[in-house]
Amino acid sequence: MTRYIFITGGVVSSLGKGLAAAALGALLQARGYKVRLRKLDPYLNIDPGTMSPTQHGEVFVTDDGAETDLDLGHYERFTGVAARQGDNVTTGRIYSTVLAKERHGDYLGATVQVIPHVTDAIKEFIRSGVTDEDFILCEIGGTVGDIESLPFLEAIRQFGNDVGAENALFVHVTLLPYIPAAGELKTKPTQHSVKELLSVGIQPQLLLCRADRPIPESERRKIALFCNVREGRVVSALDVDTIYQVPISYHEQGFDKEVLDYFGLPNSPEPDLDLWRTIVSRIKQPEGEVVIGVIGKYTALLESYKSLNEALIHGGIANNVRVRLEWIDSEIFDTEDPVIHLEGVHGILVPGGFGERGAEGKMKAVRFARERGVPYLGICFGMQLAVIDCARNLAGIAEASSTEFGPTSEPIVGLMTEWQRGNSVEHRSASEDFGGTMRLGAYEAVLADGSLVSEIYGANRISERHRHRYEVNIDYRDALEAVGMTFSGLSPDGRLPEIIEFRDHPWFVGVQFHPELKSKPFDPHPLFSSFIAAAMKQSRLV
């Protein structure tokens, strides 16, 4: 029997609902239960694919090609359960589905309304694809009280009635702000947030209270009394040093115990959290430090690079070192010498991105890494710029560029118009919509024998997740390989370059895919583990 846990948030945004869901999923897994995590987002976009990273943050990509909310990255990193297209839905997708049915005549002439048609579509999403999972954890995006969230809240209220109280638990994440002048944590915002939730017919059975200090028993009793919740189910969610400490902290506060008690499930044996303790220990007590310069264009909002940040930390965990990141806006190199900012780093990473802005600055960082022998990892756009730099400065192709920047006589990088996906061929044109039209999801690559990447992976065939519209032009392969670049990974049909490296460089790798999307703290991605190991050599730690 599948049980459903709905996680809502109140008082303010960015309280950590996604982390709470991920940590609870990890705790339930540690107790032997099978889980799946889902996210309902209230914005009208079909998906976050066309949203600016500086507004929405990272777009996470699943194996089956869905562009999703970044919280699904937390879900995967904490549980290891691969997210799917059906694990994230937006108001835009729900309304698109409902309106398509109306146009098709599926409602048999009925007046289409939010209740029941939109709420039914939401409930159908919650149920879809459920097989033998013990728990479905469903996070509701936004903050209780937002107009946008109302259809979702109504849908989960109905869903709770449909499956019965014994199979549905409502968890509400709130904030207890500390007021220095009063010298105490304030419970009133939590009370008002629960009241807002009650106004739409949902009584939360468990409150997860974010605070920067322990919550006094008197305040817990007060919250329980005014919010109609058992005192034991007012759970402290205290700030911790690293997000990977959250499962340990929540277990110590009894979060998973109270969830199992609610469903009448046994609390023994205790979950084995030794793996999480080891991860936290390596983060808090490393044996050294390396400095990685990340040259990006969305550094104003670091959540734009959330998975990348975590994957670099995972690389540090694998090597038992702290990874200190220097986030550098690539446009600064338009006016300043890269040496000023890069001379002290032990590794350089240029991540994915779109558009010409900041591209020249990124290429200056690429050239610095190539000429100085500094370990370099280029991801997606970072690989493409490495190829353009090689064409211009080593192969003598002065006009080398990308058609993404405009018409060029030397299209080293060009718009993808056709590629193989399984047994079918995908086609694209420059005039198509931007949303959902990239090369998305998991694709295989074949690695060259004896290459650095085949050694790193310990395999000659890999599968990685992609999100790109432009591709390195294979027609320039001979000219580039003649000056030292190796095309060490290709699509199985040999038409699409997937990985490049330099033969005479300590560690220089560019990949067209996004390896950060598959890295986990308990299973660091091999590219990041190897990159950090190379940075350690650069820093003379080994």
What is the SS3 assignment for 143?
Answer: coil
Q: What CA–CA distance (Å, rounded) separates 532 from 485?
A: 22
Q: Is 314 a catalytic site residue?
A: no
Q: What CA–CA distance (Å, rounded) separates 52 from 437?
A: 16
Q: What CA–CA distance (Å, rounded) separates 495 from 351?
A: 23
Q: Phi-psi bin for 388: left (phi > 0), alpha (psi -120 to 50), beta?
A: alpha
- Count, residues in the chain: 542
Q: Which tokens hold the place of 333?
A: 């190199």
Choose the catalytic residue: 56, 380, 390, 525. Answer: 380
C-alpha dihedral sign at 254, 230, 135, 33: positive
Q: Is 380 a catalytic site residue?
A: yes
Q: Which helix (H) or strand (E) holds 387?
A: helix 381-393
Q: Which tokens hold the place of 180?
A: 């220095």
3-class SS shares of the chain: helix, strand, coil, % to 5: 40, 25, 35
Q: What CA–CA distance (Å, rounded) separates 57 from 48?
A: 9
Q: What CA–CA distance (Å, rounded) separates 44 from 96?
A: 10
Q: What CA–CA distance (Å, rounded) separates 268 from 355?
A: 54
Q: How far is CA 403 from each of CA 282, 406, 434, 440, rounded to the nearest angstrom?
A: 44, 5, 16, 20
Q: How far is CA 83 from each of CA 99, 266, 352, 467, rounded to the nearest angstrom?
A: 26, 28, 21, 16
C-alpha dihedral sign at 520, 521, 526, 528: positive
Q: Are 168 and 135 within 8 A, CB to CB?
A: no
Choose the catalytic residue: 67, 196, 471, 516. Answer: 516
Q: What CA–CA distance (Å, rounded) separates 156 from 377?
A: 44
- DSSP code per residue over 482-540: TTTEEEEEE-TTS-SEEEEEETTSSSEEEESS-GGGG-BTTB--HHHHHHHHHHHHHTT
Q: Are 126 and 136 within 8 A, CB to CB?
A: yes
List the Cα angle 249/255/259 in 5-degree steps: 155
Q: Which tokens hold the place of 22?
A: 């991920």
- DSSP code per residue over 71-113: HHHHHHHHH-PPP-GGGEEEHHHHHHHHHHHHHHTTTTTPPP-
Q: Name beta bridge partners: 427.
A: 418
Q: Name beta bridge partners: 40.
A: 89, 140
Which residues are part of the catalytic machinery? 380, 514, 516
